[in-house]
Chains A and B, each alone.
Chain A
Amino acid sequence: MLEIKNLHVKLEEEEKQILKGVDLTVEAGKVHAIMGPNGSGKSTLSYVLSGRDGYEVTDGSATLDGEDLLEMEPEERAAAGVFLAFQYPVEIPGVGNMTFLRTAVNAQRKARGEDELSAADFLKEVRAKAKSLKIDADMLKRPVNVGFSGGEKKRNEILQMAMLEPKMCILDETDSGLDVDAMKLVAEGVNALRDEGRGFLVITHYQRLLDHIKPDVVHIMADGKIVKTGGPDLALEVENNGYADILAEVN
Chain B
Amino acid sequence: MALPEVKQTATEARLANLVMPDAGCTRAAREDALARVLEMGLPGRRDEYWKYTRPDTLVSAEAPTAALFHSDEAMLFSEFDRLKIVFVDGVFSPEESDDLELEGVTIDRIEDICCKDIHWAKELYGVLEARGQTPVQRPLAALNTAFAADGIAIHVTGKPSKPISFIYRHASETSDAMLHHIIRVESGAEVTILENGPAASRFNKCMEIDIADEGVLHHVRAQGRDHERRAATHMFTRLGKESVYKSFTLTVNGVLTRNEQVIELTGDDAVAHVAGACVGDGDFHHDDTVFVTHDAVNCESRQVFKKVLRNGATGVFQGKILVKEGAQKTDGYQISQSLLLDDDSQFLAKPELEIYADDVACSHGSTSGAIDETALFYLRSRGVPTKDATNMLTLAFLAEAVDEIEDEALAEAIVSRLEGWLSRHS
| SS class, residues of chain B in contact with chain A | helix
Q: Do B395 and A78 touch (CB < 8 A)? A: no
Q: Do B379 and A94 touch (CB < 8 A)? A: no
Complex CA–CA separation, A90 to B382 (angstroms): 12
Q: How far is the CB of B116 from chain A (nearest CB, A)?
A: 49
Judged by a CB distance under 8 angstroms, whether A160 is at the interface is yes
* Cβ–Cβ < 8 Å partners of B393 in chain A: 92, 94-95
Q: How far is the CB of A159 from chain B (nearest CB, A)?
A: 12
* Cβ–Cβ < 8 Å partners of B28 in chain A: none
* Cβ–Cβ < 8 Å partners of A107 in chain B: 382-385, 388
Pick from A91, A93, A94, A95 the residue with the most CB of B within 10 Å. A94
Judged by a CB distance under 8 angstroms, whether A220 is at the interface is no
Task: Give A74's nearest chain B residue, CB to CB.
Answer: B380
Complex CA–CA separation, A236 to B299 (angstroms): 65
Judged by a CB distance under 8 angstroms, whether A86 is at the interface is yes
Judged by a CB distance under 8 angstroms, whether A27 is at the interface is no
Q: Do A75 and B383 touch (CB < 8 A)? A: yes
Judged by a CB distance under 8 angstroms, whether B13 is at the interface is no
Q: How far is the CB of A144 from chain B (nearest CB, A)?
A: 8
* Cβ–Cβ < 8 Å partners of A75 in chain B: 380-381, 383-386, 389
Complex CA–CA separation, A24 to B346 (angstroms): 48
Contact of B386 among A73, A91, A103 (CB under 8 A): A73
Given A90-B374, A92-B375, A94-B400, the answer on whether A51 and B388 have CB atoms closer than 8 Å is no
* Cβ–Cβ < 8 Å partners of B386 in chain A: 73, 75
Q: How far is the CB of A138 from chain B (nearest CB, A)?
A: 18
How many chain B residues sit at the interface, stated as a range, is 20 to 34
Contact of B378 among A53, A79, A92 (CB under 8 A): A92
Interface string of B107-130 (1 = CB under 8 A from A): 000000000000000000000000
**Within residues 39 to 75 of chain A, which ones have a CB less than 8 A from any CB in chain B?**
50-53, 73-75
Judged by a CB distance under 8 angstroms, whether A164 is at the interface is yes
Pick from A52, A75, A84, A143 the residue with the most CB of B within 10 Å. A75
Complex CA–CA separation, A143 to B400 (angstroms): 12
Interface size in chain A (residues, C-beta < 8 A): 30
Given A94-B395, A94-B396, A95-B392, the answer on whether A104 and B383 have CB atoms closer than 8 Å is yes
Judged by a CB distance under 8 angstroms, whether B397 is at the interface is yes
Q: Do B397 and A94 touch (CB < 8 A)? A: yes
Judged by a CB distance under 8 angstroms, whether B22 is at the interface is no
Contact of B382 among A91, A104, A143 (CB under 8 A): A104
Given A73-B386, A75-B386, the answer on whether A92 and B380 have CB atoms closer than 8 Å is no
Judged by a CB distance under 8 angstroms, whether A100 is at the interface is yes
* Cβ–Cβ < 8 Å partners of A164 in chain B: 382-383
Q: Do B383 and A78 touch (CB < 8 A)? A: yes
Judged by a CB distance under 8 angstroms, whether B377 is at the interface is yes
Contact of A108 among B377, B378, B383 (CB under 8 A): B383
Complex CA–CA separation, A89 to B377 (angstroms): 11
Q: How far is the CB of B80 from chain A (nearest CB, A)?
A: 24
Contact of A84 among B375, B381, B388, B395 (CB under 8 A): B381
Complex CA–CA separation, A74 to B382 (angstroms): 8
* Cβ–Cβ < 8 Å partners of A99 in chain B: 392
* Cβ–Cβ < 8 Å partners of A104 in chain B: 379, 382-384
A-B contact pairs, 11 of them (CB 8 A): A51-B377, A52-B377, A74-B380, A74-B381, A75-B383, A90-B374, A93-B396, A94-B397, A94-B399, A107-B383, A107-B384
Q: Which residues of B approach A to under 8 Å, CB–CB?
A: 373-375, 377-386, 388-389, 392-393, 395-397, 399-400
